[in-house]
Amino acid sequence: MEKTTTDSVDNNKEYRKGQKLILISVAICCTIFLISLDFSIIATAIPAITSEFSSLNDVGWYGSAYLLTTVSSQLLVGKFYTIFSIKWVFLISLLIFCIGSAICGAAPNSVALILGRAIAGCGNAGLLSGALLIMAHSVPLALRPLFTAITGGLYGVAAIAGPPLGGVFTDRISWRWCFYINLPIGAIVFLVVASVFRSPPTPHRPKPTSSWDRIKPFDPVGTILFMPAIVCLLLALQWGGSTYPWEDARVISLFVLSGVLIIIFLRVQCLMGNDATVPPRIIKLRTIWSCALYQFSLGACFFIFIYYIPIWFQAVQGVSAIESGKRTLPMLIGNMVGTTMAGVAVTILGYYAPFMIIATILTSIGGGLLTHFHPTISSASWIGYQALVGFGIGVGWQQPIVAVQAAVSIDDVPITTAVLSFTQTIGGSLFVSIAQTAFSNALVRDFHTRLPDLDPASILDYGATYLARHVPGQYLSSVIEMYSDALVHCFIVATAMAALSITGGCFVEWKDINGKKETTA
């Protein structure tokens, strides 16, 4: 085993202290809360929106428009953070996000709402990376696990609390406040970052001698290839199995086009060297690709659980959206406890790698227990299983962020942070769709076997909340049992992804962030 020091990572920087550190910490926490809340809060507002706009056919686009612009822009904005002032890239991203939210809140029709969601997604693409970069330049490396634990806990709080909060706004005020709520929080973040955060100097670059030299750092060819590749992939996932069958030529063509563009994009990245959107020297680092795989896997697992567990409560136990949100509190509390305990432990011990492996083990066990959900499950069981899953995810959720910041110089933190943000988001997006396919296929198969007289498509159209209203009484118990069994297939997908994260956890370098020694193979 080779020993190396880690002094170069922190560069003896002068970090924020006292009141300024507190203010920046509040701004970072508010940003993380905004990102997660905006992703999840719209779920329970959709029925009211579609009722007001008579826009049932547009439902898929309320989430897709936001997701398309977020995911396709994340790596490009990460590149901006390496070229321009971190403060101003972040503030512009925040401003775009708030403009999009304002358009959504004031939308007179469905088209305006979709446009607002797309604009907000463009802004959101730079918020998570920006918040983590601000933290990296404000907090010493040895203390970052504690800070990332706090932000990770807030992310979990907002993700799980979003649907019931959206239900409260929709029922008691207006669905428009699901978007207006972003504006005062965004204003606070904007004022604090603009007045308190001191952006580090931008890296020195040789003076350009031609037009190509001026645009080359933005990797225009890579961007032109990457953005449509991601759009094609997400559109295929959005349309496949819902708007069109998976075997439809349009869906297959989108998958093929996405694959071809990604292959060409990867080749361009190799040719562009350090000017690439994702420089090859970064991806070749063991910690970077292993953490990216870990974030991809754990992100897929987390988003499947927070999306489908509330649906299970609504469909199988017949509770409201708000009540289903309350019943996911064990996962929320477990997540908060896990992130806090892991953050404190890493701060004291200095090592993050063991906690990534522990998180995989705990989450896989908890996910395996969740696959035993059934209509007559006891309260103690669903509480305990969720708490274990939430705790496991919490232990590992923020460790890759600490790992990559410990593995690269401060100048490379923007792009590595963007890579992690992207892999986390694309993992969740991709596997929520895969889980939906597993659910639909299992439900249709069970219907054909057990209740051939009923049309499974009509049951899917009713949605989880309205099963009891539309299913004939003599079939209801059987339909609920089949719905539960089908949703368990989603939990199986999530558990498999949790287990897959072990590959990332085992390959990450063991580095002491307290500045003592680094251990490499």
| Residue 259: domain span | 220-276
Q: Is residue 325 part of a domain?
A: yes
pLDDT score at 392: 94
Q: Looking at the domain assignment, is residue 207 inside a domain?
A: no
Which of residues 32 and 7 earns the better pLDDT score?
Answer: 32
Q: Provide the pLDDT for residue 383.
A: 94
On whether both 66 and 126 belong to a single domain, the answer is: yes
CA neighbor of 109 nearest in space, from 55, 65, 38, 183: 55
Task: Check which CATH number belongs to the domain holding 388 and give it.
Answer: 1.20.1250.20
Residues 270 and 392 in one domain: no
In Å, what is the CA distance from 90 to each residue of 199, 433, 473? 10, 30, 55
Domain-terminating residue out of 260, 276, 292 = 276
Residue 510 pLDDT > 50 = yes
One domain, residues 285 and 314: yes
Q: Are residues 144 and 134 in the same domain?
A: yes
Q: What is the mean pLDDT of residues 22-43?
A: 84
The pLDDT tens digits for 210-229 are: 666 677 777 788 888 888 88
Mean pLDDT of 469-475: 68
* Same domain flag for 235 and 281: no
Check whether 81 has a pLDDT greater than 90.
Answer: no
47-75 confidence digits (pLDDT tens): 678 777 776 566 667 777 887 888 888 88
Q: For residue 257, what pLDDT is reported?
A: 94
Residues 295 and 427: beta-carbon distance below 8 Å: yes
Query: How many domains does the structure of the chain reveal?
Result: 2
User: Is 101's pLDDT higher than 90?
Assistant: yes
Residue 61 lies in a domain: yes
- Give the torsion sign (CA, 34, 355, 373, 330): negative
Q: What is the mean pLDDT of the chain?
A: 82
Structure token pair of residue 200: 């580090």
Mean pLDDT of 156-163: 75
34-43 exposure pattern, b = at least 16 Cβ within 10 A, e = fewer: bbbbbbbbbb
Q: What is the pLDDT of residue 204?
A: 63
Secondary structure element (H or E) that encloses residue 2, with its range: strand 2-4
> Which residues share a beta bridge with 511?
518
Q: What is the pLDDT of residue 462?
A: 59
| Portion of the chain with pLDDT greater than 90, in percent | 23
Tens-digit pLDDT profile for residues 280-309: 888 888 889 999 999 999 989 988 898 888
> Among the listed ranges 153-167, 226-240, 262-276, 309-323, which one has the minimum average pLDDT value?
153-167
Q: Is residue 118 part of a domain?
A: yes
